Amino acid sequence: MSFLGSGFLPEIVNAYGGFRASMRKQLDKNPGEEGLLALLIFGCFVIFLSFLPRLFATDLSQAPDQSIAGGIIMWFFVVMFFLPLLMYGIAWISHFIAKGFGATNSNKNARHALFWGLTVLTPVFIAKAMLASVFIQIGGDLGQTMLNALNVILALAILRIWGAMLAEAKEFSSAWRVSGVIFAIFAGLLLIINLGA
């Protein structure tokens, strides 16, 4: 389903009309590694931008000082240098898990699914950032409860979108099952980390 025509930004919006169809269109374009890297850098940069409203809201709700500049530099370094490495690792792991479930295509498809999913999630990250800054200003238990609910919604959006993209890229029939496997793996990892802490 096409809402806005063609082009990079319209394709992001159009993806919400059908995640799997959007992924299929991307796979048919068959971009090279430089195209996948561009998607990843775009997604990471938007994530960095999405931290800024919350960073400003947190610092301004406490005591304005020079920590804002330090926070911006720190988050830029973390998001633009370490997050891409983490994303490549997650794509590699998802490829091998998919192979365990019978997928036969290349690791590139897993990277493409993750990086395009991240790109499609960019409007969600921006909306979440704006709402989070408001909830921080509200403060107290209500603000924290709303922030927690917002984080759960974001996690579900990530599961749904990445699951659909990976299902299409790895030629699985059910995007919901793929999302369920992703959820089970990450929930298991979080449980192990919490037990070890």
pLDDT of residue 164: 94
Q: What is the pTM of this model?
A: 0.86
pLDDT of residue 53: 78
Distances (CA, A) of 134 to 10, 146, 190: 28, 10, 28
pLDDT of residue 132: 84
pLDDT of residue 81: 93
| pLDDT tens track for 87-139 | 999 999 999 999 988 888 889 999 999 999 999 999 999 998 888 888 877 87
Which residues are CB-neighbours of 102 under 8 A, at least 6 positions away? none
pLDDT of residue 133: 81
pLDDT block averages, 10 residues each, the chain of length 197? 69 92 94 94 94 70 61 88 94 91 89 96 91 81 87 90 94 88 83 74
Report whether 89 contacts 62 (CB < 8 A).
no
CA angle 193-70-66, nearest 5°? 130
Q: How far is the C-alpha of 105 from the C-alpha of 87, rounded, in Å?
A: 19
pLDDT of residue 72: 83
